[in-house]
Structure 1
Amino acid sequence: MTVVHRSTTPLSAARLPPSPAIPRSLQGVAFSVSRKWTVRQIARRCGDVFTMTIPVFGRTVIVADPGLAKQVFMANPDEVVNIQPNLSRVLGPGSVFALDGTDHRLRRKLLTPPLHGKSIKNYERIFEEETLREAESWPDGEPFETLEPMMRITLNVILRAVFGADGAHLDELRRSIPPWVTLGSRLAVLPMPSRTYGRFTPWGRLAQYRKRYDEIIGRLIDAVLADPNLDTRDDVLSLLLRSTYEDGSTMSRQDVGDELLTLLAAGHETTAATLGWAFERITRHPEVLSRLAAEADTDDNEYRQATLLEIQRTRTIIDFAGRHVQAPTFELGDWVIPQGYSILVAIAQMHRRTDEFPDPDRFDPQRFVGQRPPTFAHIPFGGGTRRCVGATFANVEMDVVLRTVLRHFVIEPTTAPAEKSHFRGVAHTPKDGGRIVVRRRP
């Protein structure tokens, strides 16, 4: 099923970018099978902005130009809203993904403080503890996949730092969240049926997982509110429960549950995938690995941060940031996009631009040492008012996890071919799991 948005804009008022000379049905099939490859091939023929017809989103303008991306990201939020459909159909109506305009601005204002500045500093201990706890079982001198261990680290980090869970609540969430994440990631890119058709269908199972999650979160919120130390707790859940909007009102329990799930969905698999790629990349570049190992024994992190930026560029995890045209028309450069169209900023394609990133296929962290990447060309977390609210949290977490591993293990370089990319529904991950060999440091 394709979502069709009917436009009230006369076709004569629209001025659309070129479309590939490919039947619409084939465009949809190619995009579904291999999004990055399809966009790359069409961009070679049509340039950095073109029109496609794709599953779920229908008629869509694809953008791979930083200037046009800036226009999309900085557009009036009443004219260009969040992509339709979006992850709120999986995460719930209280998710920030479901909000637009003033509601979205106020929610982000409430979410920002717990995920930045001093709050992040308080979580660094958790990042290190969970890394060391997971690494206790790593084999010495034998190859193993890093993706699943990174998944467990990022899940436990979020459950502790964001949910504030411990004891029985932590154990319950550890059991119930992974199957939800796996299934939700796969269903997120598929059309949603009008009904679930029972627990033996994928959407029915997702509903069962959500019901179980709501029960656990309800008990967790009760426990946090009853905690005599609520005012001094620094987990995100406690901070949200203590926060108020400008009019003095607070988030509903349902909205809190939806936001916690949103933060988990946005920061669990994506952060783990980036770390999996980090190990895959640095083991194939001995000079980078050696420099990272030396830096890890100091308090510096400039080269490690540059390496993470280069990993996010060369192995883009989320390849699109989407918007939906709500106004009668939206001017995008020389083009006029009608109401009801989707706009997808092609992040992975943007990261390959030779103007901003010479020799884009080369893995070279040095390109980011001493300088920040161009704002609207390097966009692993999206951009504008909908840039990932947990970007700072994720960057610090990845930095601490990588530093902790390098301080306690010697990672062996390899001459094995690069791992191919595997699309899991939301994130692009290393197909073989980011395999490495380590030895414990004396």
Structure 2
Amino acid sequence: MTEAATVPTESFETSEPGKRPPELRLPRYLQAAAFIGFRRKTMRKARQRLGPVFSIDVPFFGRTVIISDPALVRTVFTASTEDLINVQPNLSRVFGPGSVFALDGKEHRNRRKLLAPPFHGQSIKNYEKVIEEETMRESANWPEGKEFRTLEPMNRITLNVILRTVFGADGAELDELREIIPPWVKLGSRMATLPLPPFNTTRYSPWGRLEIFREKFDRIVFTLIDKAEADPKLDERQDILALLLRSRYDDGTTMSRQDVSDELLTLLGAGHETTASSLGWAFERLRRHPDVLAKLVEEVDAGGSDFRQATILELQRARTVIDFSGRHVKAPKFDVGEWEIPHGYTVLVSIADLHENPEIFPHPERFDPYRFVESKPPTFAWLPFGGGTRRCIGAAFANTEMDVVLRTVLERFRIQTDDAPDEKVHHRGVAYTPKAGGRVVMYRRK
């Protein structure tokens, strides 16, 4: 067993209040190109040269402070919403103004309270059967003894799971959503971190195509809302749409139909691609780590799950899918340790740099699930779901989904291991995926 992950207790002393973080000294257009095209390499090199707090100036986010010191990350994630609000601009540009991404303060807290019940406790246990069914359905036609990409099958599994948990039973509307959501996710992911053009766009432009999709999505969802409201058994249904339609704010009001549609799009868009990406990385890693794979199979056959949970935690660390979590400085200034960050700046927590820090995770280049056996991840250094009041509300759901998919596959298939080179990291706009698609060779277990 390796040394457990710990967060160093030392941090920067507040000796000179009011200092500005050191700046990355490159022309703005070079910073933009590096941030968009080579972000991880650029951030890693900047951290090595400037330390765990430095500033950049890039389009979209503007003047931005990058932070990768756990003690200072704590300051960011525990800050008052009067000081820090959600990063601006954010994914509400894609999901709509009724999405939880668009809300701050009291509105954000109230919305999360409405959204929380489907993603905790018994609700998640109820979804395990759906996850297993979709995994078995998708894997029924996997090729045997022939290398194939796992990323696309994982995307189909996670999309079908979230569709069934959001809307309940299958139907023509869900078939239509299965057709339009994958290309929308691909396009939306690429457009999410690009500035809006300063001119009107045509319906044939990427922005226009997103608008066309949104019109189709709203039409389908409004039809499903009409059907749900006319359902005499609505009060008995456990799907997320039914729960949202029955939910009430403290003052007795309900979400508008458009807000429900925005929120469901958020769940569908953010609720499947990132999990699918992590699962693609899971197969990429297991192919190259026969000792980990053998331990997982032994545990599955014995009915256990502890090592599988540790493997999922390590996978989310070693192959970070979302590499930063952002905030926007609303207060006149925000102090982080010895540094003063002015109003209007963006603050980005560099999740990838935290996950690769050898002072927190010894030998971070190793894929080593044992580091999380009988050891919980450090709260402000292991952040695959972000942190603070904006931590991903579906984190428990995503971990359950990964656990059930891996268990189901390992019960039914034998994964062939070899010494193939690691797959390179591919940036899809929001998520980082295995470039070759998490390729493996499998055989059915007799």
For residue 438 of structure 2, what is the aligned residue in structure 1?
434
Matched-pair contact (CA < 8 Å) for 1:49–1:61: yes
Pick aligned residue for 1:199 from 197, 203, 207: 203
Q: Which runs of 5+ in 1 are unaligned?
A: 1-12
Shift of residue 196, structure 1, vs aligned partner: 5.0
Distance 1:315 1:232 in 2: 40
For residue 99 of structure 2, what is the aligned residue in structure 1?
95
Pick aligned residue for 2:293 from 289, 292, 305: 289
SS of the counterpart of 1:37?
helix
Aligned residues, how many? Answer: 430
Pick aligned residue for 1:405 from 401, 409, 424: 409
Distance 2:168 2:74 in 1: 36
Q: Does 1:261 align with 2:265?
A: yes
For residue 194 of structure 2, what is the aligned residue in structure 1?
190
Distance 1:187 1:391 in 2: 24
Matched-pair contact (CA < 8 Å) for 2:63–2:346: yes
Shift of residue 195, structure 1, vs aligned partner: 5.5
**1:388-426 deviations in Å (ceiling 9; x for gaps):** 000011000000000000001111112100000000011
Pick aligned residue for 2:79 from 57, 63, 75: 75
Q: Does 1:145 align with 2:149?
A: yes
Pick aligned residue for 2:44 from 27, 31, 40: 40
Distance 1:194 1:167 in 2: 41
| More off after superposition, 357-366 vs 155-164 | 155-164
User: What is the identity percentage for the equivalent residue pairs of Structure 1 and Structure 2?
Assistant: 62
Distance 1:308 1:196 in 2: 44
**1:51-86 deviations in Å (ceiling 9; x for gaps):** 111221111000001111111111001210000000
SS of the counterpart of 1:50?
strand
Pick aligned residue for 1:307 from 300, 311, 316: 311
For residue 156 of structure 1, what is the aligned residue in structure 2?
160
Matched-pair contact (CA < 8 Å) for 1:147–1:434: yes
Matched-pair contact (CA < 8 Å) for 2:18–2:338: no
For residue 426 of structure 2, what is the aligned residue in structure 1?
422
How do 1:1-150 and structure 2 match up within 5 A?
A: 15-150=19-154
Q: Which runs of 5+ in 2 are unaligned?
A: 1-16
**1:335-357 deviations in Å (ceiling 9; x for gaps):** 11110000000000010111210
Distance 1:382 1:165 in 2: 32
Q: Does 1:328 align with 2:341?
A: no
For residue 247 of structure 1, what is the aligned residue in structure 2?
251
SS of the counterpart of 2:253?
coil
For residue 214 of structure 1, what is the aligned residue in structure 2?
218
For residue 234 of structure 2, what is the aligned residue in structure 1?
230
| More off after superposition, 344-353 vs 159-168 | 159-168
For residue 343 of structure 2, what is the aligned residue in structure 1?
339
Matched-pair contact (CA < 8 Å) for 1:165–1:220: no
Matched-pair contact (CA < 8 Å) for 2:54–2:65: yes
Moved over 6 A (4+): none
One-letter amino acid of the structure 1 residue matched with residue 146 of structure 2 = E
CA RMSD of aligned residues (A): 1.1
SS of the counterpart of 2:361?
coil
Shift of residue 187, structure 1, vs aligned partner: 0.5
Matched-pair contact (CA < 8 Å) for 1:64–1:345: yes
**1:133-174 deviations in Å (ceiling 9; x for gaps):** 000110011000000000000000010012325111211111
SS of the counterpart of 1:150?
helix
Distance 2:223 2:303 in 1: 41
Q: Does 1:177 align with 2:181?
A: yes
| More off after superposition, 314-323 vs 220-229 | 220-229
SS of the counterpart of 2:401?
helix
Residues 169 and 40 from structure 1, CA distance in 2 versus in 1: closer, same or farther, beyond 3 angstroms? same
Distance 1:376 1:54 in 2: 26
One-letter amino acid of the structure 2 residue matched with residue 42 of structure 1 = A
| More off after superposition, 325-334 vs 186-195 | 186-195
SS of the counterpart of 2:22?
coil
Q: TM-score, normalised by structure 2?
A: 0.95
Residues 117 and 325 from structure 1, CA distance in 2 versus in 1: closer, same or farther, beyond 3 angstroms? same
One-letter amino acid of the structure 2 residue matched with residue 265 of structure 1 = G
One-letter amino acid of the structure 1 residue matched with residue 183 of structure 2 = P
| More off after superposition, 298-307 vs 346-355 | 298-307
Distance 1:219 1:300 in 2: 43
Distance 1:311 1:123 in 2: 23
Pick aligned residue for 2:360 from 338, 356, 361: 356
One-letter amino acid of the structure 2 residue matched with residue 57 of structure 1 = F
SS of the counterpart of 1:175?
helix
SS of the counterpart of 1:297?
helix
Matched-pair contact (CA < 8 Å) for 1:196–1:203: no
Distance 1:404 1:425 in 2: 30
Pick aligned residue for 1:319 from 323, 330, 337: 323
Distance 1:231 1:298 in 2: 39
